[in-house]
Amino acid sequence: MSTSTILVIDDSATIRKMVDSHLSQEGYRVVLAQNGEIGIQMAREIKPDLILLDHQLPGTTGLEVCKKILQFAECQNIPFVVSSTLRKQAYIEYMDVPNVVDSLPKPFTPNLLKMAVANALETGSMIIASQTNGTAVPEVVGETDQPALSGDFRWLGLREVIDF
C-alpha cells in the first residue's frame, strides 16, 4: 500500500469519482480539484507526490495550469500525468515541460490508471531530472538479470563461437 498523495485536477465529476475510488483502494491519498484555479491552490498547499491533470479545463488548459503550478519553488519537482481525449494533439503541447512524465488517454480503464500512476511515481523524479538537465534516462528501472545462454549449441562451429 502506498501513502503517496495524488492531486486530481479534472472538471468531470465522473472522472474524479472513478479516480478517487480506484486509487484510494490502492492506498493512495487522493485530493480532488474540479478546476484549474482550485488545483493550483491545492498544489501549493498539499505539495502532492503526483498530479493527474486533465488537458481540457473550463476557461483554461492543463498546460496553463501546469505552467502556473511549476512557477512555485515548492512545486518544481512534482511529476504530472496528463489526461485527454485529444490524445496526440494535446500531448504534443507538453513536450517541453519536463515535469510531464506520462500521458493517460481517455477513456481509460482502472488498470491503466493504476499502472500510469504507479509508473509515474516510481520514475517521475528521474525523468524530471533527466529532462531538466538534458541527461539520458535508463531504458529499464531496477535490477535486470543477465540473460542466460542456454540450449543446444552443437550446431555452432569453433569459428562462430570465437566470433561470438
Residue 79 to residues 41, 42, 163, Cα–Cα distance (Å)? 16, 15, 46
Residue 132 — very low, low, confident or very high, per pLDDT cuts 50/70/90?
confident
Residue 118 confidence (pLDDT) above 80: yes
| β-pairing verdict for 60-61 and 56-57 | antiparallel
Which residue matches cell numbers 478546476? 35
Question: What DSSP element (H or E) covers 98?
Answer: none
- And the C-alpha cell for 100? 510531464
Inform me whether the pLDDT recorded for 52 exceeds 60: yes
Quick one: pLDDT at residue 134?
A: 74
Q: How far apart are CA 90 and CA 83, in angstroms?
A: 9
Evaluate if residue 162 carries a pLDDT over 80. no
Grouping H, G, I as helix, E, B as strand and the rest as coil, residue 19 is: helix
pTM exceeds cut of 0.85: no
**Cβ–Cβ under 8 Å, residues 42 and 7:** yes
Q: What pLDDT shows up at residue 161?
A: 60
What average pLDDT does the chain have?
87
Q: What's the pLDDT score for residue 95?
A: 85
Distances in Å between the Cα of 9 and the Cα atoms of 21, 40, 97, 112, 153 are: 15, 9, 17, 18, 57
pLDDT digit string (tens) for 58-67? 999 999 999 9
Say whether pLDDT at 147 is over 80.
no
Distance from chain centroid for Cα 93: 16
Sign of CA dihedral 49, 17, 36, 31: negative
> Across residues 72-81, what is the average pLDDT?
95
Q: Are strands 80-84 and 100-105 parallel, antiparallel or unpaired?
A: parallel
